[in-house]
Structure 1
Amino acid sequence: MRPPASVPSARPPAPGPHAGSAASMPSGDRAGRDRLPSLTGLRFWAALLVVLYHLSRQAGELPGLSEAVRYGRSGVTFFFVLSGFVLAWTYDGRRVPAPLFLWRRFARIWPLLAATTALSVGAWLALGRDVSAKAVTASLLLVHAWTPDPVILRGGNPAAWSLSDEAWFYLLFPLLMALPAVRSARGRRWIAGGVCVAVVPVWLTGALIHDAGTRAWALDYLPLTRTAQFLLGVVTGLAVARGRRPPVGPWAAVALVAGWHLALVPWSRAVPDALWYSPYTASQLLAAPLFALLVATVARADLDGRPTGLGGRWATRLGQWSYAWYLIHEIVIRLWLGYAGAPAGPSGTAVVWSLVLLVSLALAAGAYHAVEHPLERWLRARGPAARGPGARGPGTGPAAEPSVPPRR
């Protein structure tokens, strides 16, 4: 969302994934604060991975590309890690009351959730599908990921399940930041190491759940399962804020993430997704340490003033639109398939992919400027006020904090 940051003279917190451009932020919010624009630009690529995943699974496959993005749903894991990182970075050392923090998060994610849920319900009705009022209510209350019932889980806006997980993370965040283990360097190392090791036995528990639907819910959707990814982001954000340097640079981290996804291609050919030892769940659980490394290296590059290619004007603008894109693109795919049907052949599929990408991104841009950004400002202005020295921390400006898309 803006040019790369210069080397800071101090280490005040900086906003990340949903930060607005420097030009759009109030000067009081910008003063004396580090900026991490590359994290905003990185959000676009994670959202694109999820969009391509849904296009491949729903609108037809393109040779080569579809294999590479077959498990692009792991972009949701990236957003969960990124959310923890940015919130820890933003609120570290700030005396922000829990009600104020939670109101800011509500203002950040709920208006667009409500708008896109209404849009999704309209799409279902236009296609002649029944809509569950119970499912819509659960979505708007952000509790729909707590049940394995697919009607409740996906009955409002299917992409919005991850916001139910995010709401849970927001409730936990003030408690996590108060834990002695999280506040100490040694404790953070133990937590990070524990999470990186624990993802393997968590994935292996899939062998104990024989029903594929229940297994997918328990390991992919359930907020309790995903909490470790958010916690890893929190301790990583605090470590970088205190000067910890990642062991590799940004491009090495990108190569590790890309290599992991390419390694899933032969695995997917050998094992059907319905089996517990397929890469479907593994792609989401086991990737968390790699995503934490990627976020840390990109943030460190911004702090050092090193170019990443992710912090320019258009890169960060696309990152700003990514939350809306995440919530809108599946609706566009659904409407296209409902009215035009599945495309025929690779050329027809390529045309549909291109049209869906352009139309959904254009709608996302409009939603950001007409709904998401102005309503967040309006709600923040009417919520609880920060009081006392240091209470007005970074993230008080419009769109200065992250929200995570990610989906199914």
Structure 2
Amino acid sequence: MLPNKIARVRFMRQTNLRTDYQHSIAISLLRGLAALQVAAAHVRAQFYPGLSTIPDPSAGYQVLAFFTGFAHQAVVIFFLLSGWLVGGSLMNKLDQPHAMLSYAIDRISRLWIVLAPAFAASLLIGVVTGELAPWRAANAIPAEFSLVTFAGNMFGLQDLAVPRYGGNFALWSLTYETWYYILFPLAVLMFARPGALPKAASAVAVAFIAWHLNAAILLYFTLWLMGAGFSRIHIRAGRKLKWGFAALFALVAAWFRVKGSNNILVEESYVQDLLYSLLFLVLLCSLQAKVPPTATLTRRLGRIGRFFAEFSFSLYVIHVPLIFLLRHLNERQLGIDELDPGGLSDFGLYVSMVMLIVLLAWLFHLPFEAQTYRVRRRLKAWMLPRVQPQNIA
């Protein structure tokens, strides 16, 4: 048995994406928890007054504000896990025929099968709430509901060329994610392609795209790349050392929650997020061990994690339009514009709204996100008839 004070590092030839390992269970749990954290944070921000605006907040509300205030860190986790799963999977398959075309099918299907119906739902919710009234001749369609904005958001151009569709303020992170999906394979081709001309073409494409992106997107691409790189690292550590990694990561996350930047990802928050990311990835690398058959609790957590991970993207994309709908219904039906931070019944209403949003997101994912792998298989059977389709995250 490895001494608890010693950690051994080795580099792996392939990213381990098997689901029966500790790190895979942790990834599933974190994908679901991160989406839930973002949704809970946004519900609180939309229905409760800001903590800093309350002269003497109750202890209960301070606890609620603290534990629903990790949305910033949750988005960083999303990027790190995306780099680990998406980047690691692509690197595993570079030697396969038509790897890049297969990758493009995977990424487009992953995004569009959720985004298109989510934007349609936003359109309907806009009609219900009165934000969009196309039948009135005097009312022009707002820019955030236009076809140009729809198309721009499908291609990750929100905040770069068009507004976020339907006022869905959570869509800012998909701009980052979409361009990381594009930049990473181009960067890989700079090194993997034979011949000077293809390498130069990839480099020019990377430089052209980078020129049109802002500094924050490019800075945080390094964290996404870290996720991909660390997916090839195995840190063999004893149980106590693993718990030490986890405790240090939790303490740093809590410290940044209280003292750090907790808005969207910008240049000013990069250094704190770099440290946070390093600690998280070290912890994840130390969990690259197979789950023993006797670890009943761990395997049960794995099933729970996979359940929530399966609709985490749907929850992330659809929760803001659902918040808009709930605000409208609360104001119209209940006469509630803002929740009382000290009221127990209002806290119950808050919890009920979060649970309802999670339930509706799960129902929303069934005809769309849950069909992602089926759609991929059909697309690959049509476009890559000689390639056996394989699923990636």
Same fold (TM over 0.5): yes
- Counterparts of 1:34 and 1:78, CA distance in 2: 17
Change (3 A) 1:55 1:125: same
TM, length-normalised to structure 2: 0.69
Q: CA deviation at 1:317?
A: 0.8
In 2, the alpha carbon distance for the partners of 1:174 and 1:245 equals 30
Q: Deviations over 1:109-151 (max 9, x none)?
A: 211111111112222222111442032231122211424x7xx
1:87 aligns with 86
Compute the displacement of 1:170 (Å).
1.2
Partner of 1:231 in structure 2? Answer: 225
**Residue in structure 2 matched with residue 338 of structure 1 by the alignment:** 328
| 2:373 aligned with 1:359 | no
Counterpart check, 1:317 vs 2:307: yes
Residues 254 and 136 of structure 1: is their aligned pair in 2 closer, same or farther, counting only changes over 3 Å?
A: farther
* Alpha-carbon distance, 1:169 to partner: 1.0
Q: Which residue of 1 aligns with 2:7?
A: none
Partners of 1:179 and 1:245 in 2: CA distance: 32
Partners of 1:386 and 1:11 in 2: how far apart?
Answer: 28
Aligned counterparts of 1:325 and 1:74: Cα–Cα separation in 2: 17
CA distance in 2, matches of 1:228, 1:279: 13
Residue among 273, 277, 292 paired with 1:287: 273
Per-residue CA deviations over 1:226-284 (Å, capped at 9, x if unaligned) read 2122111121113x2xx45589955434433432343245537xx9x89xxx9987556
1:68 Cα offset (Å): 4.0
C-alpha offsets along residues 41-74 of structure 1, whole Å, 9 cap, x if unaligned? 2211222221222123212163222034335222
- Equivalent residue number for residue 113 of structure 1: 115
Q: Which runs of 4+ in 1 moved over 6 A?
A: 278-281
Give the distance between the partners of 1:83 and 1:162, measured in 2 at CA: 12
The one-letter code matched in structure 1 to 2:131 is R
Sequence identity percentage: 20
Q: Is the deviation greater in 159-168 or in 99-108? A: 159-168
1:167, distance to aligned residue in structure 2 (A): 1.6
After the TM superposition, which residues 95-110 of structure 1 pair with which residues of structure 2 at under 5 Å, given as runs? 95-96=95-96, 97-110=99-112
Aligned-partner SS, 2:367: helix
Correspondent of 2:151 among 137, 148, 170:
137
Cα distance between partner residues in 2 of 1:279 and 1:377: 34
CA contact (8 A) 2:100 2:185 kept: yes
Question: Runs of 5+ in structure 1 lacking a partner?
Answer: 1-9, 23-32, 182-216, 402-408
After superposing the two structures, state which structure 1 stretch, 321-330 or 56-65, moved more: 56-65
In structure 1, which of residues 360, 364, 369 is the aligned counterpart of residue 366 of structure 2?
369
CA distance in 1, matches of 2:70, 2:220: 17
Deviation at 1:352, TM superposition (A): 2.8
SS at match of 2:171: helix
Query: What SS is found at the alignment partner of 2:48?
Result: coil
Change (3 A) 1:377 1:155: same
CA distance in 2, matches of 1:180, 1:279: 29
Deviations 1:196-246 (A, max 9, x none): xxxxxxxxxxxxxxxxxxxxx956xx53232122111121113x2xx4558
Other structure's SS at 1:146 match? coil
Give yes or no for contact 1:103–1:380 (8 Å, CA) kept in 2: no
Residue 380 of structure 1 and its aligned partner are, at CA, apart by 3.5
> 8 Å contact 1:142–1:163 — kept in the other structure?
yes
Where structure 2 has 5 or more consecutive residues not aligned to the other structure, the ranges are 1-11, 50-60, 133-141, 193-212, 331-336
The equivalent residue for 1:206 is none
Letter in 2 for 1:323: F
Q: Secondary structure at the match of 1:38?
A: helix
The CA distance in 2 between the partners of 1:361 and 1:286, in whole Å, is 30
Change (3 A) 1:279 1:14: closer
Aligned length: 322
Rounded Cα–Cα distance in structure 2 between residues aligned with 1:250 and 1:328: 35
Residues 143, 113 of structure 1: alpha-carbon distance in 2 compared, 3 angstrom cutoff? same
Query: Which residue does the alignment assign to 1:301?
Result: 287
More moved, 72-81 vs 130-139: 130-139
Question: How far apart are 1:13 and its partner, in Å?
Answer: 3.8
Moved more, 336-345 or 253-262: 253-262
1:45 equivalent in alignment to 2:33: yes
What residue is the counterpart of 1:191 in the other structure? none
Q: 1:124 aligns with which of 126, 140, 145?
A: 126
| Letter aligned with residue 301 of structure 1 | L
Q: Within 2, Cα distance between the matches of 1:339 and 1:321? A: 25
Mapped to 1, the partners of 2:152 and 2:364 lie a distance apart of 23
The answer as to whether partners of 1:55 and 1:333 remain within 8 angstroms in 2 is yes
* Superposition CA RMSD, Å: 3.6
On the 8 A contact 2:235/2:282 being kept in 1, the answer is no
Instruction: Give the TM-score, by structure 1 length.
Output: 0.67
Give the aligned partner of residue 76 of structure 1. Answer: 75
Q: Whose radius of gyration is greater, 1 or 2?
A: 2
Counterpart CA distance in 1 for 2:270 and 2:48 is 22
Give the match's secondary structure for 2:17: coil
